[in-house]
């Protein structure tokens, strides 16, 4: 408890000393002359520092995201071997769906977050690796479009093609970050006696950095942006050309009354036949092709008379007596 109080008092004293030093500099004229200059300076510093921090964070984060995407892409065989060990169907489905979801989500994040390098202001604020990073985004976009048109999990050729695209995109982004973007840190921390204007770090930075080679930067931007536009066209065309939405069924021209008049037989011939049958006459209709199947079966059965009903009754009673005798004998 005493240690927490000590830390709190130390922080409070430091904050008070900071305010006191700022006021002294303000009075002595070492700070800005008016509040407008201070506000402008603070705003500009926050905007510039925040943008550089965001860009550097995303560039470094994409190194790990692309590496994870490629690792899951080539680990498909491992996931299938584990999938065959499941005895419960639900567990196998969750395992496979989780693999597909995480892998495709990482590829999608590599593409979406990589679009940051296509902002013109990014080239001037941060040393982007050109053409490594723009080409990497193009390859990830091509992998996503390929997945739209072909099932890369069932088609072996499509799976190999997507794997190659993801591998090239990952290799370009990681190599560009290490050998170009991070070269500034390497050159600024060289030990004494080591020249900062020679070696692979200096050569890569001077040749492929967006801040030192503006001509290569603009060329890479134009070419990769055109390729990205083509990929976008194919991606937009897929739902228009390969949509599987059900077509709306066209209503038939027949109404309920017309279907009854055309498809269903009239009740008059059937009533006439049944009347003749009850009178003992043999059923006879001229043309029965227009009658339905159920009607023909009904007409094919012999008519029920009093004699047939009496015989069927005696037969049923005989069966009942036989069943009762066998039950008593048991």
pLDDT tens-place string over residues 23-73: 544 445 544 455 676 667 666 666 666 777 788 889 999 999 999 999 999
Question: pTM here?
Answer: 0.62
The residues that bridge with 209 in the sheet, in sequence order, are 129
Distance, in Å, from the CA atom of 135 to the CA atom of 227, rounded to the nearest integer, reads 9
Give the pLDDT of residue 108.
96
Give the pLDDT of residue 7.
52
Q: How far is CA 182 from CA 155, 167, 187, 199, 320, in A?
A: 39, 21, 9, 14, 99
Omega into 245 within 30° of 0, i.e. cis? no
Distance, in Å, from the CA atom of 39 to the CA atom of 31, rounded to the nearest integer, reads 12
CA 239: distance to chain centroid? 14
Distance, in Å, from the CA atom of 281 to the CA atom of 275, rounded to the nearest integer, reads 9
**3-state SS, residue 320:** helix
Distance, in Å, from the CA atom of 136 to the CA atom of 114, rounded to the nearest integer, reads 8
Distance, in Å, from the CA atom of 115 to the CA atom of 140, rounded to the nearest integer, reads 11
Provide DSSP, 19-79. HHHHHHHHHHT-S-SSHHHHHHHHHHHHHHHHHHHHHHHHHHHHHHHHHHHHHHHHTHHHH
Angle, CA of 68, 186 and 200, to the nearest 5°: 85
Give the pLDDT of residue 146.
95
> Are the beta carbons of 119 and 209 closer than 8 angstroms?
no
In the block, tokens 């700070």 appear at 31
Q: Taking the chain (330 residues) in consecutive chunks of 10 residues, what is each chunk's mean pLDDT?
A: 58 56 48 61 67 83 96 95 91 94 96 89 80 95 95 93 97 93 69 62 86 89 93 90 65 50 47 49 48 50 50 54 56
Q: How far is CA 286 from CA 105, 172, 242, 269, 271, in A?
A: 73, 86, 55, 10, 15
Please provide residue 129's backbone torsions phi and psi, each rounded to the nearest 5 degrees.
-90, 110
Give the pLDDT of residue 54.
81
Give the pLDDT of residue 182.
81
Give the pLDDT of residue 124.
72
Give the pLDDT of residue 328.
52
Please provide residue 233's backbone torsions phi and psi, each rounded to the nearest 5 degrees.
-65, -45
For 87-111, the pLDDT digits (tens) are: 889 999 999 999 999 999 999 999 9
Give the pLDDT of residue 247.
59
Environment class of 72 (CB within 10 Å of its CB; exposed 0-12, middle 13-18, buried 19+): buried
Give the pLDDT of residue 198.
66
């Amino acid at each position: 408890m005493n240690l927490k109080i000590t830390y709190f008092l130390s922080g409070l004293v430091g904050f008070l000393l900071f305010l006191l030093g700022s006021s002294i500099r303000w009075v002595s004229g070492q700070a800005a002359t008016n509040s407008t200059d201070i506000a402008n300076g603070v705003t500009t510093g926050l905007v510039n520092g925040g943008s550089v921090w965001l860009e550097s964070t995303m560039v470094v984060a994409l190194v790990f995201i692309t590496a994870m995407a490629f690792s899951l892409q080539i680990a498909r065989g491992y996931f299938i071997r584990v999938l065959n060990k499941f005895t419960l169907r639900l567990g196998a489905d969750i395992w496979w769906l989780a693999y597909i979801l995480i892998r495709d989500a990482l590829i999608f994040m590599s593409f979406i977050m990589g679009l940051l390098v296509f902002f013109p202001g990014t080239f001037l604020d941060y040393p982007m690796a050109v053409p490594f990073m723009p080409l990497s985004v193009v390859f990830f976009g091509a992998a996503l479009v390929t997945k739209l048109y072909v099932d890369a999990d069932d088609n072996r050729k499509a799976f190999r093609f997507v794997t190659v695209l993801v591998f090239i995109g990952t290799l370009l982004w990681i190599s560009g970050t290490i050998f170009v973007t991070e070269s500034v840190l390497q050159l600024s921390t060289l030990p004494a006696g080591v020249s900062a204007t020679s070696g692979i770090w200096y050569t890569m930075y001077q040749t492929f950095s967006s801040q030192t080679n503006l001509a290569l930067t603009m060329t890479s931007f134009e070419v990769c942006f055109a390729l990205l536009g083509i990929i976008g066209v194919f991606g937009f065309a897929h739902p228009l050309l390969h949509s599987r939405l059900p077509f709306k069924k066209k209503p038939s021209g027949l109404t309920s009354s017309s279907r009854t008049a055309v498809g269903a037989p009239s009740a008059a011939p059937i009533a006439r036949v049944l009347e003749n049958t009850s009178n003992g006459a043999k059923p006879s209709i001229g043309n029965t092709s227009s009658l339905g199947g159920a009607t023909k079966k009904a007409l094919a059965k012999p008519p029920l008379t009093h004699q047939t009903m009496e015989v069927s009754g005696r037969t049923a009673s005989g069966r009942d007596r036989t069943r009762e005798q066998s039950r008593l004998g048991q």
